[in-house]
Every structure is written in C-alpha cells, then in structure tokens.
Amino acid sequence: MDAEQFRRLGHALVDWIAEYRENVESRAVMSPVRPGEIRARFPREPPEHGGAAGDVIARLEADVLPGITHWNHPGFFAYFPSITSYASILGDLACAGLGVQGMSWQTSPAATEVEEVVMDWLRQMVGLSDAWTGVIHDTASTATLVALICARERTSGFAETGLQRPGGALTVYGSTDAHSSIEKATVLAGFGRAHLRLIPTDAARAMRADALAGAIERDRAAGLVPCAIVATTGSTNTTAFDPIDAIAAVAERNAMWLHVDGAMAGTAMILPECRALWHGIERADSLVFNPHKWMGAGFDLSAYYCRDPQHLIRVMGTNPAVLRTAQDGQVSNFRDWHIQLGRRFRALKLWFYLLDQGVSGIRARLRRDLANAQWLARQVEAEPGWQIVAPVALQTVCLRHAPAGLDEPALSAHNLAIGRRINDAGRAYLTPSMLDGRQILRVSIGAERTEREHVAALWDALRAAAAER
Amino acid sequence: MDAEQFRRLGHALVDWIAEYRENVESRAVMSPVRPGEIRARFPREPPEHGGAAGDVIARLEADVLPGITHWNHPGFFAYFPSITSYASILGDLACAGLGVQGMSWQTSPAATEVEEVVMDWLRQMVGLSDAWTGVIHDTASTATLVALICARERTSGFAETGLQRPGGALTVYGSTDAHSSIEKATVLAGFGRAHLRLIPTDAARAMRADALAGAIERDRAAGLVPCAIVATTGSTNTTAFDPIDAIAAVAERNAMWLHVDGAMAGTAMILPECRALWHGIERADSLVFNPHKWMGAGFDLSAYYCRDPQHLIRVMGTNPAVLRTAQDGQVSNFRDWHIQLGRRFRALKLWFYLLDQGVSGIRARLRRDLANAQWLARQVEAEPGWQIVAPVALQTVCLRHAPAGLDEPALSAHNLAIGRRINDAGRAYLTPSMLDGRQILRVSIGAERTEREHVAALWDALRAAAAER
C-alpha cells in the first residue's frame, strides 16, 4: 500500500467509523451469529498474493460487522461501560501512525514524558496526593498481578529464591465479592489458590475488616505469613466499596501490602462527592483503575499508581546490555515498570480525550449516569414484584423480578429468561449474574450515548419480558 | 467531539500520518531532545474545559514530534525492526473505531473467530503442523511468563499451593544469550533468580545441549526439580539459534516443558529456506514470535502457540458468574488464554496486512533484508581493521572496528564512541551492545523502507565515524 492508497482508504475508513457510530442504534446490541458463522466466511489458507486491501471496508461490513457486539451502543448495559470516544480513536490512530516503541526513554522520549504528564493529570483528577506515581498498564488484571508480585517480593525480602523458600507460606486476602482477577493473580504469582482467603462481606457487600483481622490472626497462629490484601473500590457485580481506611489499619498493623482494585469505579473519584467512598486510599501501597472503562479513553489504558516506584523497578527491572542507553539514571525507562518490554504510546489517546472533554466535561457525563442509575432504582423499588438487590452506589443497578408464588429455583430461571429475552431482542444488552446463589439482572449504565430515554426503554423492556412468562 | 469534527480531524490526521511517513527520512532518527524537554511543554494541571481537540495535530507536530525516535525511518538499525505498515495502521483504526471487547466469544464473536482464522493462517505461514493452536498475546515477555507459569503448574501437579509446596525447588534453564525476559519471567513467576540456570553457548552462540543435560543432572542430584527450558530461536544480540531438536530430546527425557522464544526471528520461518534453523520445533510445548517486529503488523501483536490449549485454560481460566454466557463450552473465550481479561480486536491489523501484502509480498521483503545483511557482512569482512563478531544468521550484523595498536578497554571505548557519533548525527540509529564483555556495534536491518542504499550509507558513516578518533 502506498501513501496515496493509505490516504484514500484512511479517509473512507474514518467516514465508515463515523457512519457506524452515528447509526449504531439501528443494530442489535448483541451479535446474533452462531458459533463458527464468522469463521466460515474466511478462507482456510492465507492469501498467497496481496493487493486486496482496497476491499477491506466492504469486507469489514459484510464479514465482520455481523459478529460484533456493540459496546458503544446506547442500549449496552452489560459488563461495564467501555467507552471509546471519537477523540480517543484519533489518539489511537496517531499512536499507530507514529509506530514507536516506548520501552526506554531514548526509544521515544515523548512516549515516556507525555505519559508522565497525563498520569500526573489523572492523579490530580481523582484527588490523589503527589506521593503517588503512575504508569500505564494494559489492564487491571495485569496491574493486580504486578501488585501481588511486588507484595510477594517485599515480604520475602527480594528473595533470590522467589516463593521457593523455607518458612511459612505467604497468604493473600480479598473479599468474597472481589474480582476474579484477584484469584487469577494469586495463582499466577505462585501463591497457590489454597493461600487465598476470601473474607465475608457485610450487608452492603463490603469486606468486613474485623473478619479480615481475624483471618490474618488465625493464619499467623498457624505459622503462615500474611502478605497482601486486595481491597475493592466498586466491586464488579454490585459496585460495593470495601472500607479502605479500616482495612489499611489492619494492613499496617501486620506490615502487609494493600492494593486497591478500582478498575471500573476509580473513575468516579473524578467527582469530589464520590471520594468518601475510598476514604483511606492514601494509606494503600498500590491502586489501579481503568480510564478505558467509564472514563472514555479507549481500551487498553489502565492506570497503575504506586507509592514506591523504586520498589516496582527493583522487582520488574532488567538491564541487559542491548537496552542500556546514555540517559539511564536520569529518566524513567517504563519497561522496568511492568511485565512487558515493548510498549505503545498509549498516553496519546488519553491526552487527546482530555483536550476534547476537559475535566468538567467528564464530570458532567459521570453525573448524568449516576442520576440515571438512581432513577432506574426508584422505578424498580416503586414497582410491585420487583426488587433492588444491592445498594446502588454508582451506575450499576442489580435487580430482580420476584413475583409472589414462585420458589427460588423458579425465580432464578425466570430472571435468567428475562435477561436472555432482553439480549436476544437486540435493543439492549445486560448481564444476567448471580448474587448469593440467586440469578439476578445486572444493569451497568454508562455507555457514552446512553441517555435517560434508553434507560427508560430498558425498564419498559424488562417489565414486558417479565410478563412473557 | 461530534461525528462531523471526527471526520474532519480524522481525514487531516490520516493525511498528516502519510506526510510524516513519506518524509520521515528528513528527520533525525533518534530524538535529540534532552530529559524533561518534552514534559516542560505541557501544563502541570489537566485542562478544566474541553473543546481543544481541534488543535491536536498542530500540537502533535510542535510538542510531540521533537521527542519521537523514528522506528519506521529507513535509517533505523537499532533494537529490532518494528514495522507498522500502512495496512496495519488502518487495522488499528478499525479496531479503535469498533471499540469492542473480545474477552468472551459473546462479547464480539468476530473478535474471537477472526483471531482464530488469522492465527491459523500464521501457523501455516511459518510451517507449523496443525497440532498447534495460536492466540494473540501482547508481547513475547508476557507470553514467556505465561509459558513458565504453565510449566510450573504442570510440574507441580496443579498444586493448589502454587510454589509454596514441600519438596525440591523447581528450576528453569536458558542460555547465557537468552533474552532478559527469561530472567524476568523466572522472577515474576516466583521461581526465584537463584533457580535460573544460564547454560553456556558454543562458538556460534547456541546453547550447548550437553551442558544443559549436565546442569539438569546436577540439579536432580541436588534434590531440585528441573521444570522448564527456554530455547532461543534468534537471540536478541546476535540472532543465534539454539539447537531445538537436541534440547527437545533433553526436555523429553526429563519430562520438562520446552518453550521456544522466537520473538524477532520466528518471522523468518515464513521463508521455507530458514526453517532448518528451528528444526525440532514440533517437539516443543509452546512458542512465541512477534508479527509486530519484522513481519509488519503494528505493535502489539505477539503470536503464542501451544500444543495443549486445555492446559493453558486450566491455568489461566476463571469462571465467575458475571462472565458466564450461553455459548460457554462450544466456543473459545480468549480471556482464559492469557493474563488479561479485556482484549482488543488485534486480529484486524494482521488480517488487513495479509490482505495487502500476501505471503509472497512478505517473503520478498524478508529476502531483501537477508541479502542486505549478507552484503554488509561482506563489506565489513573485506575491510582491514573491521570484524564481524558473530555469525550472521538473519538480518542482524554484529561488528566492530578493531584497529591495531589499541588494547581492549580502548577498543570498547572506541566502538561505543562510533555508535554514539552515528546516533547523534541523525542519519542512522543503531544499538551499541556488549558481547563477551566487549563493546560491539549491532546493526539490525529490516525497517520497511530500508533499502540497500541505506545500508551502504550506514557503512560509509561507520567508517567515517571510526576515522574521527
């Protein structure tokens, strides 16, 4: 492809994206294809000869679009908001166009320094003190793994022997409502699933600090070595908030690492009125939240903050001859701040997005979503037979249709059926989930185009789907 | 930003990228800025108000470009080729524009199935049998970490206790020329640096299989548990090839995991005439190579292949209620195939690129680069006072100016000075590296626009820089 074809196709693709975005509401939110249907549209063998790039947009439309579930559809209420704003798309385009590696400062100084700038802006935006230093990771799962590895190395005294050392086993703590990435990171970091303690939650689904302290005490008495606590700021299922301050006191008393997982909800801290929800955050060792979720920078852009970057570098750093540069010691080489060596210039999309929206623009949108969630919760509570099944702290509403006369297995089946009817109908997409062993319906509000009318339409659809039984 | 502004800015940005690419040769390859110079161009506080996206291209040009080291410059001979082709840029743009998550099949079936298609194409392109199944990872560092964790879990019998188990410590083996990511992965996976064995290499810098077997035997005798071997297909420094077949025999005899790191050089296997270099590959358990290096798909797109995906899923899988879908069991949910949960639709850029180039187009370019490396090696060998210091197996040429009358410390200083003169002059960028404790100059050929004339210009510049002493 030469520059001329790139310009022509690039313009057409930009137009196609705008057209797709503007008309996304006309499509079914969840892709209706069956397993294997998309794969069958492609040849089994790679193209021997090139020159077919001129067809890509037509092929995207014909062969790929039917297999797309539209995360930026205003009827998207599943999982979490994963907003890829127009400004962020342009930032990603600039990143791809420059095509540089930011592994070391010298390999593109702007990639390191613009990241330092926007990560410090973001720190200020969520109200963290300047004791925190940030770096872009890809996902919260990875960042939590890094935090647990840092905790492991601190507790084991930078053991050359890793976890293969004499003495009691190291243990990790999270709540029963913690994200699945906590268990995954515990396994991947080598602690072993048997050394993860899931602490019970209170009525608001927040980790009980007293139960945490008790579990740690019992483990110590048994000769184990309590190492790390992962507190959750906005749980995946219900956006429950663990009491960071009380948990931090337990961590400090036991010289344990405290990592805070605020993957989706960290963005809420851009609103000063939400910051009480993570009171005590300054006492944590590390935290992660995802601008690529509700904030509006496209995936992937996860913000990892820590209080001791030198510790992070000691754990993650390598210094082979081929990577040494004249500026080492004066600059940050971000390859030593995470698992990967190579790194994209992801800061560009966050920068573009902040220039486009400003802090005030983001705040206004977040407040819109919080108000929509409260509105939906009020409708549900006012409707006979319907229940709100968890506190609505932010933009996620967990609800259930529980008409009289059905026993529990039947109620679960009924709610799962409601969810599938909604998703199959194509106007909205939500996540059927489980809470305390019961099927519930989880409505996560916050796609960029989701206005009150879309939430109201979902509420109508829910009642209609419930009446179908 | 509305659709109209997105179209306007998108077109302008596409044009800017084409202009940047076409004229990249007029810029200094390595950014000349000093530490802090780019950061100082940005305000300390985030923008309170938005609406400034209209300026992004001007600001890119003014505030970011000076801090860019141009990886797609024809004078780029440092590190490794990191080609971001025009077609790949468009694939990334389509990925950002769709803005979907491919974590589960249902969250966008096309993201999973197009990835299955292109990863199978790629398998065929490098001549692997259909016993291999591929998945896109972000980088080889991550893929190698995943492989070592899979090895750890296989040896420890899916221990609920991870590495915190009774019995001898697990050990890992690589060559003294293995990439720094092997050591990093050993530490991150919890084995401990003390349990990594770096096996000596032969005259061609290939791991000695006899020394490997001896080290394993000694470790067994000491009560340790040999777990994994990482063989290198094209080492970072000199593109040396470990003897996979002989190493595989050692691995099989000891029931150990064999992972092959072909990060840069795996792409060479698209050329049938190169495949003897990884003879025995079918006996490995896992392998990684990076289409985002020499092949031409933009970073990040790392290809991880394994022979037992069910094992991978047992190690990496989680199944919380919020992620369960109706199609589980019938489809691949790629979130269970790596560390991350969220995932971009990275297959698009590889698909676009293959449509544009075809296998024959890629082969022609790779052969051009191999011929350029052989040409440079011949010039160096024919020139008095210059030396080729490692076999030139592919596109990397390790060389040295060693005039008579200088002792070793002086020779190292002289070669480091040559490298810095070249890099500071701006026409080319190469990597000063170390080999056996001596400073060398490493020329990695393979940027998309690098033709014979650029290699010849580098050779002239090297001789001129050497004469400056």
For residues B303 and B296, give the distance between their C-alpha atoms in angstroms, rounded to a whole number: 13
SS3 B316: helix
Residue A335 in tokens: 């390859």
DSSP secondary-structure letter at B426?
Answer: S
CB B349 within 8 A of CB B301: yes
pLDDT reported for residue A428: 97
In the A/B pair of chains, how many CB contacts fall below 8 A? 498
Average pLDDT over residues A171-178: 97
CA atoms within 13 A on the CB side of A387: 13
- CB–CB contact A79 B107 (8 Å): yes
For residues A159 and B95, give the distance between their C-alpha atoms in angstroms, rounded to a whole number: 42
Rg (CA), chain B: 24
Checking if the pLDDT of B159 tops 80, the result is: no
Number of H helices, E strands in chain A: 12, 12
Average pLDDT over residues A412-433: 95
pLDDT reported for residue A469: 63
CB B288 within 8 A of CB B147: yes
Residue A198 in tokens: 């899931």
H helices of B224-299, in order, are 244-253
SS3 A172: strand
For residues A71 and B108, give the distance between their C-alpha atoms in angstroms, rounded to a whole number: 9
Continuous segment of H or E residues that includes residue A96 = helix A86-98
| Chain A residues with beta carbon closer than 8 angstroms to that of B318 | 180-181, 183-184
Q: Kindly state whether A240 is in contact with chain B, defined as any CB-CB distance less than 8 angstroms.
A: no
| Distance of residue A382 Cα from the nearest chain B Cα, in angstroms | 26
Q: How far is CA B169 from the centre of its chain?
A: 30
User: What percent of chain B stands above pLDDT 70?
Assistant: 100
Average pLDDT over residues B30-44: 97
SS3 A57: helix
For residues A357 and B52, give the distance between their C-alpha atoms in angstroms, rounded to a whole number: 8
Dihedral sign, Cα of residue A284, residue A288, residue A289, residue A291: positive
Q: List, as ranges, residues 43-102 from B with C-beta within 8 Å of A.
A: 44-53, 55-56, 59-60, 63-72, 78-79, 82-90, 92-101
Q: List, as ranges, residues 142-201 from A with C-beta within 8 Å of B.
A: 142, 145, 149, 152, 159-165, 169-170, 179-181, 183-184, 186-195
pLDDT tens-digit map of A92-105 = 999 999 999 999 99
Q: What are phi and psi of B199, to 5 degrees?
A: -85, 140
pLDDT tens-digit map of B407-429 = 999 999 999 999 999 999 999 99
pLDDT reported for residue B469: 63
pLDDT band, very low/low/confident/very high, at B207 (cuts 50, 70, 90): very high
Average pLDDT over residues A233-242: 96
Q: What are phi and psi of A297, to 5 degrees?
A: -80, 140
| Chain B residues with beta carbon closer than 8 angstroms to that of A20 | 97-98
| Chain B residues with beta carbon closer than 8 angstroms to that of A99 | 71-72, 82-84, 89, 298-299
CB A255 within 8 A of CB A170: no
Task: Characterize the bridge pairing of strands B396-401 and B438-444.
Answer: antiparallel
Q: What's the distance, Cα to Cα, between the start and end of chain A in Å?
A: 56
pLDDT reported for residue A267: 98
Q: What are phi and psi of A305, to 5 degrees?
A: -120, 140
CB B239 within 8 A of CB B264: yes
Cis peptide bond prior to B356, omega within 30° of 0: no
Checking if the pLDDT of B227 tops 90, the result is: yes
pLDDT tens-digit map of B311-336 = 999 999 987 777 778 888 889 999 99
Residue A454's nearest CA partner among A70, A153, A95 is A70
Continuous segment of H or E residues that includes residue B4 = helix B3-22
CB A199 within 8 A of CB A255: no
For residues A300 and A291, give the distance between their C-alpha atoms in angstroms, rounded to a whole number: 9
Least confident of A257-261, A327-331, A334-338, A401-405: A327-331
| Chain B residues with beta carbon closer than 8 angstroms to that of A164 | 163, 169-170, 190-192, 195
Rg (CA), chain A: 24
For residues A243 and A251, give the distance between their C-alpha atoms in angstroms, rounded to a whole number: 12
What one-character-per-residue DSSP string does B82-137 give?
A: ----HHHHHHHHHHHHH----SSSTT-HHHHHHHHHHHHHHHHHTT--TT-EEEEE
Checking if the pLDDT of B157 tops 90, the result is: no
ipTM: 0.96
Checking if the pLDDT of B244 tops 80, the result is: yes
What one-character-per-residue DSSP string does A206-220 give?
A: -B-HHHHHHHHHHHH
Average pLDDT over residues B124-144: 98
- CB–CB contact B299 A20 (8 Å): no
Burial class (CB in 10 A: 0-12, 13-18, 19+), B360: exposed
pLDDT band, very low/low/confident/very high, at B116 (cuts 50, 70, 90): very high
What one-character-per-residue DSSP string does B343-393 give?
A: ---THHHHHHHHHHHHHHHHHHHHHHHHHHHHHHHHHHHHSTTEEE-S---
Q: List, as ranges, residues 252-291 from B with C-beta within 8 Å of A.
A: none
What one-character-per-residue DSSP string does A297-361 give?
A: PPSS-EEEEES-HHHHHHHH----GGG--TTBTTB--GGGGSS-SS---THHHHHHHHHHHHHHH
CB A201 within 8 A of CB A207: yes
pLDDT reported for residue A326: 80
Checking if the pLDDT of B270 tops 70, the result is: yes
For residues B159 and A194, give the distance between their C-alpha atoms in angstroms, rounded to a whole number: 9
Cis peptide bond prior to A369, omega within 30° of 0: no
pLDDT reported for residue B265: 96
pLDDT band, very low/low/confident/very high, at A151 (cuts 50, 70, 90): very high
Average pLDDT over residues B59-81: 97
pLDDT reported for residue B327: 83
Residue B341 in tokens: 């949960």
| Chain B residues with beta carbon closer than 8 angstroms to that of A109 | 31, 33, 35, 37-38, 67-69
| E strand spans, A245-311 | 257-261, 286-289, 302-306
Checking if the pLDDT of A324 tops 90, the result is: no
Interface probe for B, chosen from A27, A41, A56 (most Cβ of B below 10 Å), is A56
How many other CB atoms are there within 10 angstroms of residue B397's CB atom? 29
| Chain A residues with beta carbon closer than 8 angstroms to that of B11 | 10-11, 14
pLDDT tens-digit map of A350-386 = 999 999 999 999 999 999 999 999 999 999 999 999 9
Checking if the pLDDT of B162 tops 90, the result is: no
Residue B148 in tokens: 């070592």
SS3 A396: strand
Checking if the pLDDT of A40 tops 70, the result is: yes
Residue B127 in tokens: 């001549």
Average pLDDT over residues B96-102: 97
